[in-house]
């Protein structure tokens, strides 16, 4: 497929094995609502719900250990023993946790050599967060060409969002710190599915994002048919994740549209915006998805609160072992 733009025409050439199609669209009236793109695989944009759901079903499930940890995170009676049992079933997870527990960030002079020791020294909640991020990391370490995200990018951005969400909860004394951390880790999973379409229309989305009053994620919805937040919600549902995670993922760019769990969703929205400001792995869309004033008001957050969280995130960046 090739595209040219003259002053007043957007021309798209699409070639498949049997025909060559030329679409001449007067540029002035080629609004995103009327625009039709054909992707490399011959998929017409906007895509259908059926097409998206098929791709959702084709994605591998979350690792078993991640699913078990999510259900533990939800349960307030979870004990250190429960956590150790789940982690102990997965040698790679145990190794990953010990590697992170020994990173300079946690500052222990002597080596932590067992899971039990790590729980005692770092605390149950810290280990729960490390375990969740270690279990989810393989899923997120994927290059997403459409969003110009390198192999480690989505993982780093997701971890920074999770850390920011955790800090915001602690700052506001909200009771669901670990759920917010998990929601932060998973908030952009829809990008795993949407990226192949963004690759086709990325230049157009960027151009429109600078010209129009619409955010990048709104343009995704209009041009591709579905935005990455909504598709992430489909994915979360297909993995049977709890309602609050589905809501936080689905509405992380529009928390005021969430019918339930608006406060948690607002935390993830603000955390994502802060992580995006660091310019690490958030993708080409980061600067075109603004933080909503309404979300800041709901959480009674001032600019000074946001600065504190940003200082914290910068501290994390000093220790690359955390992303290991
Ligand atoms: Fe996002
Ligand atoms: Fe994000």
Residues 83 and 190 in one domain: yes
Q: What is the pLDDT of residue 40?
A: 54
Range of the domain at 229: 58-323
Q: What does the pLDDT look like over 171-181, one tens digit per residue?
A: 999 999 999 99
Residues 118 and 174 in one domain: yes
Q: Tell me how far apart the alpha carbons of residues 244 and 265 are, in angstroms, rounded to a whole number.
A: 8
Facing residues of 5 across strands? 10
Instruction: Answer yes or no: is 131 within a domain.
Output: yes
Residues 116 and 6 in one domain: no
Q: What values do phi and psi take at 144, rounded to 5?
A: -120, 95
Instruction: Answer yes or no: is 277 within a domain.
Output: yes
The continuous run of DSSP H or E covering 14 comes out as strand 9-15
Are 162 and 133 in contact by the 8 Å Cβ rule? The answer is: yes
Facing residues of 20 across strands? 15
Which bound ligand lies closest to the C-alpha atom of 277? Answer: 2
CATH number at residue 261: 1.10.3210.10
Q: What is the pLDDT of residue 104?
A: 79
Facing residues of 10 across strands? 5, 25
Q: What is the pLDDT of residue 310?
A: 94
CA of 87 to the centre of ligand 2 (A): 27
Q: What does the pLDDT look like over 192-226, one tens digit per residue?
A: 999 999 998 988 899 999 988 899 999 999 999 99
Residues 160 and 257 in one domain: yes
Are 270 and 310 in contact by the 8 Å Cβ rule? The answer is: no
Residues 157 and 10 in one domain: no
CA of 268 to the centre of ligand 2 (A): 9
Q: What is the pLDDT of residue 315?
A: 86
**Sequence-ordered list of residues with C-beta below 8 angstroms from that of 74, at least 6 positions apart, any chain:** 179, 242
User: Residue 45 burial (CB < 10 Å; 0-12/13-18/19+)?
Assistant: middle
Are 258 and 269 in contact by the 8 Å Cβ rule? The answer is: no
CA of 89 to the centre of ligand 2 (A): 31
Which bound ligand lies closest to the C-alpha atom of 191? Answer: 1
Which residues hold their Cβ within 5 A of ligand 2, which is an ion? Answer: 188, 272
Residues 24 and 93 in one domain: no
Q: Tell me how far apart the alpha carbons of residues 269 and 271 are, in angstroms, rounded to a whole number.
A: 6
Q: What is the pLDDT of residue 268?
A: 98
CA of 116 to the centre of ligand 2 (A): 33
CA of 132 to the centre of ligand 2 (A): 18
The continuous run of DSSP H or E covering 172 comes out as helix 153-172
Instruction: Answer yes or no: is 275 within a domain.
Output: yes
Residues 227 and 297 in one domain: yes
Q: What is the pLDDT of residue 117?
A: 92
Residues 272 and 291 in one domain: yes
What pTM did the predictor assign?
Answer: 0.86
Residues 194 and 288 in one domain: yes
Residues of the chain with pLDDT under 50: 1-34
The continuous run of DSSP H or E covering 158 comes out as helix 153-172
Instruction: Answer yes or no: is 238 within a domain.
Output: yes
Q: DSSP secondary-structure letter at 111?
A: P
Q: Tell me how far apart the alpha carbons of residues 307 and 299 are, in angstroms, rounded to a whole number.
A: 15
CA of 187 to the centre of ligand 2 (A): 6
Residues 137 and 8 in one domain: no
Instruction: Answer yes or no: is 53 within a domain.
Output: no
Instruction: Answer yes or no: is 52 within a domain.
Output: no
CA of 72 to the centre of ligand 2 (A): 25
**How many domains does one find in the chain?**
2
CA of 38 to the centre of ligand 1 (A): 24
Residues 121 and 180 in one domain: yes
Residues 88 and 212 in one domain: yes
């Amino acid at each position: 497929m090739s595209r040219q733009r003259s002053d007043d025409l957007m021309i798209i050439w699409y070639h498949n094995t049997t025909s060559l199609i030329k679409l001449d669209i007067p540029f002035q009236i080629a609004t995103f609502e009327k625009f039709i793109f054909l992707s490399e695989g011959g998929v017409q944009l906007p895509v259908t719900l059926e097409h998206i759901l098929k791709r959702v079903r084709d994605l591998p499930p979350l690792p078993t250990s991640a699913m078990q940890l999510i259900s533990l995170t939800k349960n307030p009676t979870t004990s250190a023993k429960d956590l150790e049992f789940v982690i102990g079933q997965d040698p790679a997870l145990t190794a990953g946790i010990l590697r992170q527990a020994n990173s300079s960030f946690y500052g222990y002079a002597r080596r932590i050599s067992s899971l039990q020791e790590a729980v005692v020294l770092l605390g149950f909640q810290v280990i729960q967060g490390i375990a969740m991020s270690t279990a989810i990391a393989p899923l997120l370490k994927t290059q997403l060409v459409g969003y110009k995200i390198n192999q480690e990018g989505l993982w780093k951005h997701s971890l920074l969002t999770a850390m920011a969400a955790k800090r915001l909860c602690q700052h506001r004394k909200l009771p669901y710190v670990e759920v917010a951390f998990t929601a932060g880790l998973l908030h952009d999973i829809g990008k795993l599915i949407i990226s192949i379409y963004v690759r086709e229309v990325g230049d157009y989305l960027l151009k429109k994002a600078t010209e129009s009053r619409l955010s990048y994620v709104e343009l995704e919805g209009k041009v591709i048919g579905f935005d990455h937040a909504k598709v992430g919600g489909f994915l979360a549902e297909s993995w049977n994740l709890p309602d609050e995670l589905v809501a936080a993922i689905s509405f992380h760019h529009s928390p005021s549209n969430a019918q339930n769990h608006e406060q948690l969703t607002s935390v993830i929205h603000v955390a994502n915006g802060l992580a995006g400001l660091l310019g690490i792995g958030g993708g080409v869309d980061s600067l075109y998805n603004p933080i909503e004033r309404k979300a800041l008001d709901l959480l009674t957050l001032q600019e000074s609160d946001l600065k504190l969280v940003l200082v914290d995130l910068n501290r994390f960046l000093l220790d690359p072992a955390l992303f290991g």
